[in-house]
Amino acid sequence: MSYDPISAAGAGAEHFDLPGLFFLTNQTLIDEWHNLRSNVAESVTIWFRTVVKAALAAPASERGLQLSEAAGPGNNRHLLLHPESTPILNTKPVIGVGLGWHAKNVNPATNPPFACVRCSRNQTGKDAARLFVDNGGRAYRSATPEAKGSDTDTWPIFWWLRSAPNWWTDLDRYRNTLVENILRLTDAVLPALVAASAVEVTGGPDEGE
């Protein structure tokens, strides 16, 4: 089967360049391939929520931390380690450290997940973020070259975890890289995280994001 573009003919044919003709010639196949994006994105998210989450369970327990999931903002998803005392509002810990990713991204090599500290965007989360940065989080971010974020971000600390191009050929290695980065961040900011987890709840238990 040939995928070569079929040439345009007639008045105005010069307005159709080769990429456009290639698309017109192969649109059915292109659309079929494009639709695979959502399937692959779902597979990546399931891998994070099962394999990576399972690998974090024992280290979290060893540190006396809980392991939770948190959705948002937008299509971002998170696995978060946090003290048991951390307030849970709208099913999410108001602050935690762990892994974040965009649920619609297909390839961690081109759209990488990130190690992060995540704070809820409600008032309690903002208060927790303030406690976090004032108790060592800001100092760690300033002293860590790869760390990004700001005091008022949903993620006051984060850094990208870009994978190797063919990461799916060695999932164990990629899982270990993710876990190592998450635990490095967790251990570094644990005192600040504990301080932030003592935040007083501003609203009710259903305080929104």
pLDDT digit string (tens) for 143-156? 999 999 999 999 99
% of the chain exceeding 90 in pLDDT? 70
Question: Measured on CA atoms in the order 52, 55, 65, 182, is the torsion positive or negative?
Answer: negative
pLDDT of residue 209: 65
Using pLDDT thresholds of 50, 70 and 90, give the confidence band for residue 39: confident
Using pLDDT thresholds of 50, 70 and 90, give the confidence band for residue 107: confident
With respect to residue 8, please indicate whether it lies within any of the assigned structural domains: no
**Higher model confidence: residue 104 or residue 160?**
160
Domain span including residue 110: 36-196
With respect to residue 11, please indicate whether it lies within any of the assigned structural domains: no
With respect to residue 4, please indicate whether it lies within any of the assigned structural domains: no
Indicate whether 34 pLDDT > 80.
no
With respect to residue 170, please indicate whether it lies within any of the assigned structural domains: yes
pLDDT of residue 188: 98
Using pLDDT thresholds of 50, 70 and 90, give the confidence band for residue 207: low
pLDDT tens digits, 57-93: 999 999 999 999 999 999 999 999 999 999 999 899 9
Q: Which of 3-17, 62-76, 169-183 has the lowest mean pLDDT?
A: 3-17
Pairing of strands 95-102, 114-119: antiparallel
Average pLDDT score over the chain = 92
pLDDT of residue 54: 98
Using pLDDT thresholds of 50, 70 and 90, give the confidence band for residue 133: very high
Number of domains within the chain = 1
Question: Measured on CA atoms in the order 185, 189, 190, 194, is the torsion positive or negative?
Answer: negative
With respect to residue 168, please indicate whether it lies within any of the assigned structural domains: yes
Would you mind telling me the total number of residues written for the chain in this entry?
209
Angle ∠(209,57,67) on CA atoms, nearest 5: 15
**Higher model confidence: residue 165 or residue 52?**
52
Residues 158 and 114: beta-carbon distance below 8 Å? yes
Burial 147-171 (b: 16+ CB within 10 A, else e): bebeeebbbbbbbebebeeebbeee
With respect to residue 187, please indicate whether it lies within any of the assigned structural domains: yes
| Assigned token pair, 68 | 């939770």
Tell me which residue of 57, 67, 189, 64 sits closest to 128, measured CA to CA. Answer: 189
Using pLDDT thresholds of 50, 70 and 90, give the confidence band for residue 204: low
| Assigned token pair, 104 | 């619609």
With respect to residue 202, please indicate whether it lies within any of the assigned structural domains: no
173: Cα within 13 Å, side-chain hemisphere: 9
With respect to residue 3, please indicate whether it lies within any of the assigned structural domains: no
Indicate whether 206 pLDDT > 60.
no
Please tell me the distance from the alpha carbon of residue 127 to that of residue 120, in angstroms, as a whole number.
Answer: 10
pLDDT of residue 3: 84
- Spatial neighbors of 27 by CB under 8 A, at least 6 apart, are none
Tell me which residue of 148, 115, 135 sits closest to 197, measured CA to CA. Answer: 135
